Chains A and B, each alone.
Chain A
Amino acid sequence: MAAGEPPAGGEREVAALDRVVIRFVGDSGDGMQLTGSEFSRAIARAGHDFATHPDYPSEIRAPSGTLFGVSGFQIQFSSGEVFTSGDAPDVLVAMNPAALKTNLGELARGSVLLVNSGAFTAANLARAGYAKNPLEDGSLDGYRLLAVDISALNARALAGTSLSKKEVDRCKNYFALGLMLCLFGRPLEAEIADVAQRFAKNPRFAEANVLALRAGYGFAEASELFATTFEIRAASSVPGTYRSITGNHAAALGFVAASELAGTPLFLGSYPITPATDILHELAALRHFKVTTFQAEDEIAGICSAIGAAWGGSLALTTTSGPGMALKSEALGLVTMLELPLVIVNVQRAGPSTGLPTKTEQSDLLQALFGRHGECPIPVIAARSPADCFDCAIEAMRIAVTYMTPVIMLSDGGIANAAEPWRIPDVASLPRIAVHYRSDPEGFSPYARDERLARAWVPPGTPGMEHRIGGLEKDFLSGNLSHDAQNHQRMVEVRAAKVAGIARDLPPLVVDGPDSGDLLVVGWGGTWGAIAEARKQAAAAGLSVAHLHLRHLNPLPRDLDDILGRYKTVLVPELNLGQLSRLLRERTLRAVETMHKVQGRPFRVSEIRARIEELCGRQS
């Protein structure tokens, strides 16, 4: 990176880069999430591969200028493959002293640091705990500091509008966006069209934001703010049409697709909870599809209404996060007994209890597997990236209706809100979901099973097949309640066998890297990107390391034991205290190296790579 000093002769350099990481940070009211996502759209249009990481506090509007009120958005984009939002920023855009203070530690010396000097007032400096102004005391000398009074320049650009002083100030994130678009040589036109669309209902703001955007871009250009602008070639991705998508959005689309692929209406019963609510938002807006959304009175009613809809023949869904998952556990037992199809999405967040609601963690794996009373087996799958939520939604519904069982789909706050490019699938290439409602009363027994041990789906309204189901143990065939001792054991075993049998249906596991050797890194869920990138780097450095990603966590794939047996060491990095590690040890009776992080943040690639190097070094 090179920026800051204008080169001699006034000719600006254009530097070609392979990849870059930008972090926007400011007050939670500064519009950093909007700036970040708008910048991501510009990056997407340029055809780069990218990954984002929004990081915001749980307060909607924390007191301004405070350290805990800092909201951030990071994006990594590249001409090559991008697996994560990047470890540390190459460019930090800090809108106030608090944002600078909380983020400077992660910025490498020599990197570009763009600050809004207009926000470095005595009051803001004091709120951030600065005794002296860091812009003036020389403490930032090691960085390529660009101090721009964005507040004042933005206010001057918008002086002619009818906006109040406060409203004008709210537009300054578009000024900052204009600066960044100039730095990366992105055209303004598409962005202007976006602003017009986003603020279609408020033309005053549309106009003002366009002015701010142009002013930022124009200022950067005219003042030759950046000695070097950057050019990053478009990624050489698989041919196709792409769009940018977040995990929650992809999940919502996946469930609509499942409904269309099954020719069966979708029913979502849900109660708002961070970070899962966006799935409810997305589906509530898609009522022109065969989609019903029901905002229930609580988490329990969310799942119970979905159980009622499943009984009625719908593809039933409930969405939640950890605390809501805890509330739903009794109903999970019921639906396991009823043997009706239902998908439960848990967008995990840092726990226990309210925990860190807006921060990510993958600490609900054991809850998903075991968090119910009684022997209560439920299939569990986990999405590995934002776009993967689409495929997982379809896979979860497929398992649910094929095996007449609830299925838990795990996502996490990291991938739910992060965006990446998604190659839009051809609808014809998506797998059909076979739904069969039994309507033949001849020889019907409510709990008779097919070869997969699934019982028949007979919604109310089917003539001649009236029957009762419930949470009490039932007779192996008739489903009538039964307290018979042998029957209970048989039913417990058959429910377990049904779920275990799903393993027969799973595709063979794919190992990334050598198929035997020194080290296998095993991951699940949203850590996929960081592990994949770390493995790639370590392999490029000549280390023997392979990566195995598990989508299906219950039942575990049948070829897992064989694969684990082919490596000297198995490492399991997790954003918990070692939950998959525990399952793998129990399954294989082999030693497993754990690596854990519970900071509400995703792994850095460098953290995993360091551990890979350490383990490989130990062996050599």
Chain B
Amino acid sequence: MNDIVECRAAAGSTQVLTRKDFESEQDVRWCPGCGDYALLAQVQKLLPTLGIPRENFAFVSGIGCSSRFPYYMDTYGIHSIHGRAPAIASGLKLARPELSVWVVTGDGDALAIGGNHFIHAIRRNIGLKIVLLNNRIYGLTKGQFSPTTELGEKTKTSPYGNIDPPFSAAALALGAGATFVARVLDTDLPMLQQVLARAATHPGTAFVEVLQNCIVFNDGAYSTLTDKATRDEVRLTLRHGQPLRFGKNGEHGIRLRGLKPEVVSVAGAPGVAEGEGVAESELAVHDEADAHGSLAFLLAQFAAPEFPQPLGILRAVERPAFEVMNAGIAAAAREQRGPADLASLLAGGDTWTVG
């Protein structure tokens, strides 16, 4: 659709960027059918539309299948070490706030070995776009359970079933104070494109969890979410300002009883018997901009089979970005102390003269 746009941000430049400009010459080496391809294509499609010169994009990754991502983008990129991408990206963003800095990571990279950097980048609300490809398995090391692998799963390191309870990446991010949190399926290309576009322009940390199928080590992890026969019953698409409804005909809804969510039938929806179900007005209404974020936190923890999987933007609020505050500190210091002068700094404090 929007493959060719004028790149307005390049000063005086009439350079026209296309998705081709973002494809590097390296052969893509993910397994055929891997969900990572979908993200790569959508990012390459999005970037030319943002009005940012190509040289101002930087992709930082750690280790894992997803972390091969920067090699395939014809932008600046670092394929770094396991878990540390948010820390490297934070240093880059502080040094060069004008850059569009993206972190591409996975469930092991961001949530296990790199958990600390992940939560602290989010806590600071530094202007990084963090995209986490969650396949609920360690792929590159060939099939060990990850922090998002479900209980009971048999993997190479849990041959008798996984006893490590998984956690929700979105809930973790929200707990760390995230200002932008979204979750999308790798197969839902329109939603992926929309969410990435919102993330790209969000000031502060934008966190996007992509539920991504590992065709080799965890194939079908999300099949109930993707199969035509089951998907409508288990997906809850979030729309800002709209009641939380799901089902093929919107016949299910989420109602809050105090802090307790419940799935209800919606009166008047096709398939709901006359006189049954609750009025739509009783359903919870999604508010991505809610200052407290408690609804987002509840939604982030919805898990099958009791609840449907919320997909879309869970939270999008504005808070000052760390790099902006950092620049503010420097400006205030210059204001307060006048122009910096090395000679007077070195000669500061008590001095005495000899000879």
Contacts and interface: CB of A to CB of B under 8 A. Distances in A.
A468 interface: yes
A462 B99 CA distance: 11
Interface stretch (A116-124, A311-319, A402-410): A311-319
Interface string B93-126: 1111011000000000000000011001000000
Given A241-B352, A297-B116, A468-B70, A269 B91 contact: yes
Interface stretch (B78-86, B181-189, B200-208, B213-221): B78-86
Contact of B84 (A253, A331, A338): A331
B227 interface: no
Pick from A330, A424, A426 the residue with the most CB of B within 10 Å.
A424
A219 interface: no
Given A292-B326, A464-B55, A470-B80, A45 B94 contact: no
Nearest to A252: B345
A191 to B, nearest CB: 11
B80 A304 contact: yes
B88 A256 contact: no
A390 to B, nearest CB: 8
B70 A470 contact: yes
A312 B71 contact: no
Pick from A311, A330, A424, A469 the residue with the most CB of B within 10 Å.
A311
A314 B93 CA distance: 11
A461 B92 contact: no
A490 interface: no
A308 B26 contact: no
A57 interface: no
A467 interface: yes
A330 B58 CA distance: 22
B280 to A, nearest CB: 45
Interface string A273-310: 00000000000001111101010111011001111111
Contacts of A466: 54-55, 74-76
Contacts of B79: 468-472, 481
A57 B88 CA distance: 35
Interface in B132-184: none
A312 B93 CA distance: 8
Contacts of A305: 87-88, 90-91, 94
Interface string A454-482: 00000111111111111110000000110
Interface in A300-348: 300-301, 304-314, 316, 330-331, 333-334, 338
Interface stretch (B252-260, B267-275, B281-289, B330-338): B330-338
A566 B87 CA distance: 50
B343 interface: yes
Pick from A237, A305, A330 the residue with the most CB of B within 10 Å.
A305
Given A269-B91, A308-B89, A289 B354 contact: no
A297 B117 contact: yes
A150 B24 CA distance: 76
A235 B354 CA distance: 9
Given A314-B95, A461-B99, A308 B355 contact: no
A461 B98 contact: yes
B12 interface: no
Given A44-B352, A241-B347, A242-B354, A461 B56 contact: yes
B64 to A, nearest CB: 13
B87 A304 contact: yes
A465 B55 contact: yes
Interface string A243-272: 110000000010011001000010101000
B329 interface: yes
Nearest to A42: B350
A234 B354 contact: yes
B88 A244 contact: no
A243 B99 contact: no
A300 B87 contact: yes
Contacts of B337: 288
Given A243-B349, A465-B55, A466-B74, A300 B99 contact: no
A313 B96 contact: yes
A12 B69 CA distance: 82
B339 to A, nearest CB: 8
B47 to A, nearest CB: 12
A466 to B, nearest CB: 5
Given A305-B90, A309-B95, A427-B346, A287 B330 contact: yes
Nearest to B53: A463
Pick from A310, A312, A330, A462 the residue with the most CB of B within 10 Å.
A312
Contacts of A372: none
A301 B342 contact: no
Nearest to A464: B55
B346 A297 contact: no
Contact of A241 (B24, B84, B90, B351): B351
A47 interface: yes
Interface in B309-355: 326, 329-330, 333-334, 336-340, 342-343, 345-355
A128 to B, nearest CB: 36
Given A330-B81, A460-B56, A309 B354 contact: no
For chain B, the bracket of interface size reads 35 or more
A44 B95 contact: no
Contacts of A307: 80, 88, 91
A471 B80 contact: yes
A306 B91 contact: yes
Contact of A294 (B89, B90, B333, B354): B90
B247 interface: no
Given A288-B336, A427-B342, A460-B56, A237 B90 contact: no
A312 B116 contact: no
B320 to A, nearest CB: 17
A45 B347 CA distance: 14
A51 to B, nearest CB: 16
Contact of B342 (A242, A256, A304): A256
Contacts of B334: 287-288
Contacts of A269: 87, 91
A469 B70 CA distance: 9
A243 B70 CA distance: 50
B60 interface: yes
A467 B352 contact: no
B94 A424 contact: no
A292 B98 contact: no
B95 A304 contact: no
A240 interface: yes
Contacts of B350: 41, 44-45, 243-244
A288 to B, nearest CB: 4
Interface in B32-66: 53-58, 60
Contact of B355 (A239, A312, A330): A239
Contacts of A260: 342
A124 B91 CA distance: 51
Contacts of A242: 351-354
A461 B81 contact: no
B96 A461 contact: yes
Given A257-B346, A425-B346, A468-B70, A237 B91 contact: no
A253 B329 contact: no
A343 to B, nearest CB: 14
Contacts of B73: 468
A467 B10 CA distance: 19
A309 B351 contact: no
Interface string B1-45: 000000000100000000000001010000000000000000000
14 contacts: A242-B351, A243-B351, A244-B350, A288-B339, A305-B94, A308-B93, A309-B92, A424-B347, A426-B343, A459-B96, A460-B75, A460-B96, A468-B71, A469-B78
Closest 8 CB pairs of A and B: A239-B355, A308-B91, A470-B79, A305-B91, A304-B87, A312-B95, A460-B76, A308-B92
Given A287-B333, A460-B75, 19 more contacts: A235-B354, A236-B354, A237-B355, A242-B352, A242-B354, A256-B342, A288-B334, A289-B342, A296-B120, A297-B117, A300-B117, A301-B117, A304-B84, A308-B89, A311-B92, A425-B346, A460-B55, A460-B56, A472-B79
